[in-house]
Amino acid sequence: MKPTDRNELARRLNGEHVSYDVPLAPMTTFRIGGPADVLYRATTVSELVNAIRAARELEVPYFLLGTGANILVGDRGFRGMVIKSEVRGIEFLDENRVRVGAGEVVFPDLINATVSRGLGGLQHYVGIPSTVGGAIWQNLHFLSPPPDRERTCFIEEVVESAEILTESGELRTVDRAYFEFGYDYSILHERRDTVLTVTFRLEPQPEEQLRYNMRENLKWRDDKHPDLWLYPSAGSIFQKIEGIGAGRLIDQCGLKGHIYGNAQIFHKHANIIVNVGGARAEHVRHLIDLAQRTVYSQLGYELKPEIGFVGEF
Ligand SMILES: Cc1cc2nc3c(=O)[nH]c(=O)nc-3n(C[C@H](O)[C@H](O)[C@H](O)COP(=O)(O)OP(=O)(O)OC[C@H]3O[C@@H](n4cnc5c(N)ncnc54)[C@H](O)[C@@H]3O)c2cc1C
């Protein structure tokens, strides 16, 4: 980034929250990724709006970062400004509705706050690393409660409205339909809108039942998913293939447990790649390419990555 742009950004943004040449790896659940030229931590709606407007006006490339749980950052980092969304705040509007800052973490903070008021709808997403903004971007989802687990629950089911900064710079309140939610999809994949706050409409439910649901989901995750502290990852790498399962296809090709560099196709769940210590983005990219090529040539299915690729590789 040009030094003049750096200086101008620093002038326009709150100096305390700006830093330079910051490694992004610790800000992602993969623990992978080179430095951002500029990192800005936006802690209020007005800081977030101001940062995005400044980046657009100066034509500085920017990336909005939540908990970094659905991305792979390149080894050479990001040329431009990473805006870390730390807009917190949980405000109960009435007996059903809660307005939340887009940088609020879904688990544990938001889930605990709502469940302890006997409000259900978010408990399904226990144990998933995500900000509220990231959850809207991706339409966060998980299986319905035990014992049947017969359907997938999506966060869209409890979204009432949201305040956004549109890609053309307008502040708007939009309803759920605006997001055109789908599986792993919202309109945010196409439009560079920024979610500022989200209002959820939740259902009163006995707290004990919600806590039971949470315990069962955490047990399910413990059995099937890598422990993030031991095996950093970004969750599922490839999009779901209805009725078949991307992980099952990779497993059928004998790639479960395959290691390249310091990354591994997880030995318990082949749709997850884990960092076994000091992995680089190039190691993960190699495994992604390998899984795609092998599954296509042996079984004829095309695997599409679900995660976002950020910065220079
Ligand atoms: C161990 C593990 C388990 C997981 N399990 C699940 C699961 O069961 N179900 C599931 O659905 N996902 C799962 N995931 C994936 C991940 O948790 C979700 O995709 C999550 O919503 C990502 O949120 P984030 O805040 O980390 O977003 P990030 O990864 O930081 O960003 C993702 C995208 O969202 C955009 N974004 C972030 N904030 C905003 C905002 N305010 N406005 C507009 N865009 C924004 C970013 O720019 C980026 O494009 C899992 C991940 C891990 C590591």
- The Cα–Cα gap between 203 and 95 comes to 9
- Whole-number Å distance, alpha carbon 4 to ligand 1 midpoint, is 33
- Closest residue by Cα to atom 14, ligand 1, is 235
- The Cα–Cα gap between 40 and 48 comes to 9
- Whole-number Å distance, alpha carbon 289 to ligand 1 midpoint, is 22
| Ligand 1 neighbour 142 (Cβ under 6 A) | yes
- Give the per-residue pLDDT at 300: 97
Reported as type and span, the H/E element at residue 265 is strand 263-265
Determine the atom of ligand 1 nearest the C-alpha atom of 135.
Answer: 21
Residue 112 phi, psi dihedral angles, 5° rounding: -65, -40
| Ligand 1 neighbour 217 (Cβ under 6 A) | no
Six-digit token pair at 17?
Answer: 């929250």
- Whole-number Å distance, alpha carbon 298 to ligand 1 midpoint, is 31
Q: How many other C-beta atoms lie within 10 A of the C-beta of residue 267?
A: 14
Residues paired with 64 in a beta bridge: 83
> What length is written for the chain?
313
pLDDT tens string 66-117: 999 999 999 999 999 999 999 999 999 999 999 999 999 999 999 999 999 9
| Full DSSP string of 223-260 | HHS--TTTS-EEEE-B---TTT-HHHHHHHTT-TT-EE
Q: Are 30 and 69 in contact (CB under 8 A)?
A: no
Q: Which of 50, 200, 178 is nearest to 132 (CA)?
A: 200
> Helix (H, G, I), strand (E, B), or coil: what is residue 2?
coil
| Ligand 1 neighbour 138 (Cβ under 6 A) | yes
Residue-by-residue pLDDT tens, the chain, 313 positions: 888 888 888 889 877 799 999 999 999 999 999 999 999 999 999 999 999 999 999 999 999 999 999 999 999 999 999 999 999 999 999 999 999 999 999 999 999 999 999 999 999 999 999 999 999 999 999 999 888 888 999 999 999 999 999 999 999 999 999 999 999 999 999 999 999 999 999 999 999 999 999 999 999 999 888 999 999 999 999 998 888 999 999 999 999 999 999 999 999 999 999 999 999 999 999 999 999 999 999 999 999 999 999 999 9
> Quick one: CA dihedral 59, 31, 156, 118, positive or negative?
negative
Q: Are 75 and 31 in contact (CB under 8 A)?
A: no
Q: Are 21 and 66 in contact (CB under 8 A)?
A: no
pLDDT tens string 57-75: 999 999 999 999 999 999 9
List, in order, residues 6 or more apart from 195 with CB less than 8 Å away: 102, 132, 133, 136, 137, 162, 163, 164, 188
| Full DSSP string of 75-96 | TTBEEEEEEEE----EEE-SSS
Phi-psi region of 42 (alpha: psi -120 to 50; beta: other; left: phi over 0): beta
- The Cα–Cα gap between 144 and 200 comes to 18
